Amino acid sequence: MRFENKVAIVTGGGRGIGEATAKRFAADGAAVSVWDVNAEAAEAVAGAIRESGGKAIACIVDVSQKDQVDAGVARTIEELGGLHLVVNNAGITRDKSAKKLSEDAWDLVLAVNLKGTFLVCQAAMNVMLEQGYGRIVNTASVAVDGNFGQANYAASKAGVVGLTRTLALELAKPGITVNAVAPGATDTPMFDAVPDEIKAAICKSIPLRRMAEPAEVAAVHAFLCSDDASYITGQLLYVDGGATLGC
């Protein structure tokens, strides 16, 4: 299998794209450390993987907290036997127009989405550098091109792109690839609160006329972490159904 004898961390793995990614990696043979701030959600995904014959643990980690990140990496290595693949999927939104955006909402989104991605990368790269191998995939967004009411979110995701490209340069010689995925509208719990008429308008604006399924983004994560993508690093891959074409 594609990820046989590999160990993966998937942050934000308790639902949505993270859940789909954790299950996809497990199906491809990886032992998976499912990270989430929601203990019940993380354990549900890890339990489902184990019930399907895979190997998985649930780690309760707030990625904005360095001590929790370091502890999660240490536990992953101790219980699963190593660390080879990382998908930084954890992220939050606190949407408001810039005029109304509070400092707390700015700080929280940047702490989780950008600082959290950096902390996980930093902790993981120390392990990957020692073994001369690793695959890191970070989560950006189509919002890097700007999105009304998401100054904090767009800034955090643009930062993720800059971080990704810098780490790709710093880690290329040791054989570690670092890439980013920019999902567009995806049918996840984050979209559950969006009114149906707005969902319909979003889908109408997408050339493929629908939102992505989480499994479709997970498939891109799997590709970028696989040997098929061994010569790809520092790239941002849009998974948006063509939504950004012509923008």
Active centre residues (catalytic): 153
Q: Which residues contact 54 (CB under 8 A, 6 or more apart)?
A: 26, 27, 31, 32
Are the beta carbons of 171 and 178 closer than 8 angstroms? yes
Rounded Cα–Cα distance for residues 54 and 25 (Å): 10
What is the CB-side half-sphere exposure of residue 3 using CA atoms within 13 A? 31
- Taking CA atoms, 47 is separated from 13, 26, 40, 115, 221, in Å, by 12, 12, 10, 29, 21
